[in-house]
Amino acid sequence: MIENPEEIVDQNLLTDERGRRIQTDLGDSTWGQLIFPSLVERQAKTNDGLRVVIFGSYLLGYLLTETLHEFERQHPSRLNMVGLVTDDPASPAAKISVKRRIWRKYDQQETIHLETAMIETGLKSGVPVYTGAVKTEYFRALLTTWNPDVILVCVFGQIIDEPIINYPNLGIYNFHPADLLAGHGAGPQPYQDLIDRQANTSKVTIHQLTTDLDSGPILGQSPPVNVRFADGIMTDNVLVLDDKMLQPIDVMGALLIKTLILHQEAGMKGAIHKLDFARHFKPEIREWLMKPIA
């Protein structure tokens, strides 16, 4: 067992002496850090456009962050990622329900690698990354500094409370890899639900986030995703299912951000209530999603 996994994450982040900075004094948070990108990583930021904070981790959160980073690179005056809040599974003190969530499937070395990759993608996007508790005075002050117009949530291990939910004027949206509209897969183990039901397909759902877990008003869903092998067999490996359900995230994330930008540019306030994500998937992508697991 690795004695201090957090220290290894720090060493990974500070390698090459890129001028990054790690702040460990987070006031009333009992775990985590605030990691700042280097000047070089921040130099492409314009501070113009829709201000977005991501609460995300693991592979789905990573893909969403990469999608927004690429969008901002192409449209620097229209999108401004201002912060990333992520899980800290390497810390024994972190209260993120590790034993109930996908992290339980990974050993310590794999967990360190996944956490490092998630933090890296935020820093390379030029934004500070926070890994501590969010229901704290420290984080609320940090959120006020970031001042997001919108918050996107994708695989995050803490309960998000009303002061955070009510902050962004264009809403807070959660990406959940389950068919919530059909009443399936709410909670921390959506893939186990697929296995238990022996499902043939599933969908990614985006909903407005509320204090009730995975119960907020549904904004829209992906097209169906085939979750079986070519011979019709259902896997019992949640990591295989996670890899398959990852596939719609980039298209949905890009469409949601484009729509939110248009709302802001039109002077509109308040959350978006409906968005037909499935209609915006090209026929060849729909066909790809329905291919069996390879």
The arithmetic mean of pLDDT across residues 224-241, rounded, is 97
Q: What is the pLDDT of residue 12?
A: 66
pLDDT tier, 111 (very low <50, low <70, confident <90, very high otherwise): confident
pLDDT in tens, 147-165: 999 999 999 989 999 999 9
Does 111 fall in a domain? yes
Show the domain range for 103: 5-289
Q: What is the pLDDT of residue 231?
A: 97
Does 62 fall in a domain? yes
Sequence-distant (≥ 6) Cβ neighbours of residue 172 within 8 angstroms: 150, 151, 152, 153, 160, 164, 165, 208, 209, 271
- Span of 2-6, 136-140, 228-232 with lowest mean pLDDT: 2-6
**Residue that wins the pLDDT comparison between 89 and 120:** 120
Does 294 fall in a domain? no
Q: Tell whether the model's pLDDT for residue 17 goes beyond 60.
A: no
Give how many domains the chain has, as a whole number: 1
Q: What is the pLDDT of residue 107?
A: 82
pLDDT in tens, 264-284: 999 999 999 999 999 999 999
Whole-prediction pTM value? Answer: 0.93
Alpha helices, DSSP H only, in the chain? 5-14, 39-42, 58-74, 108-124, 137-146, 162-165, 190-197, 238-245, 249-265, 283-289
Q: Tell whether the model's pLDDT for residue 41 goes beyond 90.
A: yes
Domain CATH for 174 = 3.40.50.170
